Structure 1
Amino acid sequence: MRIIFMGNPEFAVPCLKCLAQSDHHVTAVMTNPPKKMGRDNKERRSQIDAAACELNIPVIHAGLLNSIDLIDQLTELNPDLFAIVAYRVLPKELLLIPSMGSVNLHGSLLPAYRGAAPIQRAIMNGDKVTGLTTFLLKPSVDTGDILYQEKVTIHPDDTYGTLSERMSQIGSSLLLKTINNLMEKSITPVKQDNSIATQAPKIQSAERIINWNDNAVNITNKVRGLNPKPVAHTTLNGKWIKIFHASLVNENYQLTPGTIIERTKMGLLIQTGEGGLFIHSLQKEGKKRMDIQEFLQGASIKEGDQLGT
């Protein structure tokens, strides 16, 4: 089967590699154009772009998805299928090109968590189980008929990074299974129940800020769900601090939320709206990420100081 693969982030790389090693022919990879990022304003490619180059697969840098030039370019490749993982919403004009349609791999058990941040939001909401779905693509976001699903357990110590990596490996096998069985016409698509659909929009900047009036369970889940990016934030004396790793302390304290209850050689214990939060790893504004012990060696922070100020 002739496949055009579309994706951007690291999550999509195992799928591309799996298809490249299969009996199918990945004729091209479509991804976002390189863009200048960081303090050095250096041009950076997507992870999928780099992976495709390593695999010697031609890369299409797509700007406007409804441009006539792009439509003509994809049509000339005569694909049987588009395989999409963590990419943009395709316009109808592109969906008409492949003879067998387009398959998407999504990081949730649809119709739950439709949108750009399903893995992060599952962790942030304290879910114990999530999953992966392959489905036929429609112009509207994550609404197409379901082909296959596979459940994935969320471990108590999972972060967005660890869970995403594990799901990307499971998803690569699920996507290949889907494509093989589509070719054999042995799948019966199932319509989604829109009445039970939930949304997982992109994480907004305001959501990264820790509200210390919230309980310790919710704050811990936020820290886990935003690690390694975009990372939960708080402030101390007007300076931003990113918190990468924290754990719940099931004890009730009577201090103002955000107050440093205890400073030890092992870390900081913070009062929340209910329970305590022990910080293990963080990053000061303008500094590198560090373990709490390294942070405390040069910090004047003391018990009674207030985070979120």
Structure 2
Amino acid sequence: MEKLRIVFMGTPDFAVGILDTIYQNNYEIVGVITAPDKPAGRGQKVSTSAVKEYAVSKNLRLLQPTNLKAEDFLAELKSLDANLQVVVAFRMLPEVVWKMPKLGTFNLHASLLPQYRGAAPINWAIINGETKTGVTTFFIDDKIDTGAMILSKETSIGANESAGELHDRLMQLGSETVIETLQLIEKGEATTTIQTENPAIKTAYKLNKDNCKIDWSQSGTAIFNLIRGLSPYPAAWTYIKDGENEWNVKIYAASFEEKVHIDAVGKVSTTKKEIFITTKDGVLKVTSLQFPGKKRMLAHELLNGITFSENAIAL
């Protein structure tokens, strides 16, 4: 049985949940690598990654390289004398980094590989209406999320579950899977399965403004899945036009009812407390949204300050 000396690499909250589980299970973490600090938001205040905040709070050795091939970084990484590297939601590693430790470098990915390789697996599983997903640990190779798989764990996706809710469940499932993977590697009992390529593999593309915009020509179910798959971040969005006014609106939560109607697709209608938008096959009831310059609100809170005319339409 080989005692593990671990370097952990990651950036967002999802990675913190895994790092904390490794720490709480008393594994030796000889270093943590995360993204450099960067200005963010309107005031361009310097923001630090969630992983950095955690590492500092636990007094763990921290590295924030801008260039993963830089000689000084590689020398410092080598000096940590790790025999295993664990990667969760980080960036693509150069071969010189992932090949460095004797026992290899493994990654935790929030999908059932080979499905949903890429940057946003949690979001796309929901957007595409999947009913199950999971997590996979695999040894890193020279491509993105294609390496030999160690362990996979499956879970169902709730019919109304949001990306935020699924994120938290997969973080827990991922934590358990990483610990099991560490135990197998520690005992020299880790076996792997090569990923097989097939035309049915779906990709978890990086999210951007275009693929987060609601397309009102789609079915109501597809629009509903997009909204919950992008909630709470980065959020599905649409333009709402009412006379001279046109707003860029984020929609965080909704429900969909299939029904026959004669209204124009995208028509916005309201009661005193509710907002409805018609789709080609039913009606979407919007329950949480955000208008420009305002905070996220429930529908009835927004309607206290805004009145829509009969001509209001989502575009």
Question: Quick one: which amino acid aligns to residue 264 of structure 2?
Answer: T
Q: Does 1:228 align with 2:232?
A: yes
Percent same amino acid at aligned positions? Answer: 34
- Is residue 131–residue 151 contact of structure 1 (8 Å, CA) maintained in 2? yes
Q: Choose 190-199 or 178-187, whichever is displaced more.
A: 190-199
Q: Does 1:240 align with 2:248?
A: yes
Q: Does 1:306 align with 2:305?
A: no
1:145 to 142, 145, 148: 148
Q: Choose 178-187 or 141-150, whichever is displaced more.
A: 178-187
Q: Does 1:202 align with 2:206?
A: yes
Question: Quick one: which amino acid aligns to residue 219 of structure 1?
Answer: I
2:288 to 281, 286, 290: 281
Supply the RMSD in Å over aligned alpha carbons.
1.1
State the shift of 1:66 in Å.
1.1
State the shift of 1:248 in Å.
0.5
State the shift of 1:265 in Å.
2.7
Structure 2 distance, partners of 1:89, 1:207, is 23
1:84 to 77, 82, 87: 87
Structure 2 distance, partners of 1:257, 1:291, is 23
Counterpart position of 1:19: 22
Structure 2: 5+ residue stretches without partners: none
- Is residue 227–residue 244 contact of structure 1 (8 Å, CA) maintained in 2? yes
Counterpart position of 1:269: 276
Structure 1 distance, partners of 2:270, 2:309, is 7
Question: Quick one: which amino acid aligns to residue 225 of structure 2?
Answer: N
Question: Quick one: which amino acid aligns to residue 298 of structure 2?
Answer: D
Instruction: Give deviations 1:65-102, integer Å, cap 9, x for gaps.
Output: 11111111100111011100011010101012111000
Question: Quick one: which amino acid aligns to residue 223 of structure 2?
Answer: I
Report how many aligned residue pairs link the two structures.
307
Q: Map of 1:67-78 to 2, 5 A cutoff? A: 67-78=70-81
Q: Map of 1:1-309 to 2, 5 A cutoff? A: 1-195=4-198, 196-237=200-241, 238-260=246-268, 262-308=269-315
TM-score by length of 1: 0.97
Structure 2 distance, partners of 1:306, 1:288, is 22
Structure 1 distance, partners of 2:254, 2:127, is 13
Instruction: Give deviations 1:208-244, integer Å, cap 9, x for gaps.
Output: 1111111110000000011111111111232211000
State the shift of 1:205 in Å.
1.2
For 1:49, what is the secondary structure of its paired residue?
A: helix
- Is residue 135–residue 148 contact of structure 1 (8 Å, CA) maintained in 2? yes
Structure 1 distance, partners of 2:30, 2:84, is 10
Question: Quick one: which amino acid aligns to residue 223 of structure 1?
Answer: I
